[in-house]
Amino acid sequence: MDEQGGQAGQMRTSTRDLGELRERVRSWLTGRLGRPVAVSRLSQPSGNGMSSETLLFDASWDSPEGRREVGCAARMAPASEAVPVFPDYDLGKQFEVMRMVRERAGVPAPRTLWFEPDPGPLGTPFFVMERLAGDVPPDVVPYTFEGWLLDASRADRDRLQRQSVEILARLHDTPFTAEELETVAPGGSGGSAALRRHVDDQRAYYEWAHGSMRIPVLERAFAWLEEHWPAAPGPAVLSWGDARIGNVMYRDFTPVAVLDWEMATVAPRELDIAWMIFLHQFFQEVAQVFGLPGLPDFMRREDVCRTYQEITGYRPRDMEFYEMYAALRHGVIMARVWHRRIHFGEQPMPEDPDDLVMHRAAIERMLDGSHGG
């Protein structure tokens, strides 16, 4: 869950030395291009990123066509001592998915430049993509607290919302081949099988992320999913996996870069739709806890689903199930993030393990049926 740049936050994401990294990047790129390369302005943004590490830098070199200058963003798996959020980071798959959705679906993922599978140069595999300029709705301080999106007119926010939903529609309506889908998520691409595999994988991730610690509210949510399993899940499509406006760069309220494809998978359409809705609900509720109005009329379920149906002709179904699943997935991830903060001495372990889940109250309301739509 990252971005290419952004506001300074308090979450520690790296244990690497930037000076050493700059020299390593310069040496690697010089070897890759076969000519001397200058690397400057190397930095590591914070704000939205909590999983992979991002490096920003400028590269310049002389070519037969003249002087080349490229703004770059490199994505690397975190060092093991940084207590990674996820158990593994298939950067090669992410690189290929970004290329595929850009070329085949017309989704404005950043242009991919180089993939390096050898961990030798930087200590981990990594890839480099083009760095773009624009505005990203921040996680820290949340966009529901302050900033350009909160200050925008209703018409501009509606335009941003519609065009964000259009990203999902374009991605989901693209007829990727069975071979392409198998590359993203091996094991079959039928709707029922894809959903079952995704939930089973999420349960395995929960066990990995928290070991012997039980988090009761998440255990109850897993049980709720089994009791409310959709009778007929919709067809499986290529799914972004982390579909939220915090992973989109905008200019004039129009998407210019769709970021962070590390959670890409094959799943029913509703997986992305519900994630986009729930992640806004999460930040909206955080604003309300602090007595702020936030954006209550933004990314509402009925509006998002209506727009999606207008564009695709497909009516999202079983949204209560998928929003609960979104809340559960987010809860597992955020509880892992809090474990990282505890590891780095940024906060103590809570007495109640449910308090590792920032939005436990929302999940509890979903469980007892009082959350609403």
Is 242 an active-site residue? yes
Give the containing element (helix H, strand E) for 13: none
Kindly name the residue from 135, 139, 242, 260 that is annotated as catalytic. 242
Q: ∠ CA 3-125-67 to the nearest 5 degrees?
A: 70
How many CB atoms are located within 10 Å of the residue 97 CB?
A: 23
Place of tokens 């599978």: 117
DSSP class of residue 203 equals: H
Task: Spell 312-339 as b/e; 16+ CB within 10 A means b.
Answer: bebebbbbbbbbbbbbbbbbbbbbbbbb
Alpha helices per DSSP H over 152-233: 154-173, 178-184, 191-210, 216-227
By the 10 Å C-beta count (0-12 exposed, 13-18 middle, 19+ buried), 294 is classed as: buried
CA distance 43 to 45: 6
Q: Which residues are tagged catalytic?
A: 242
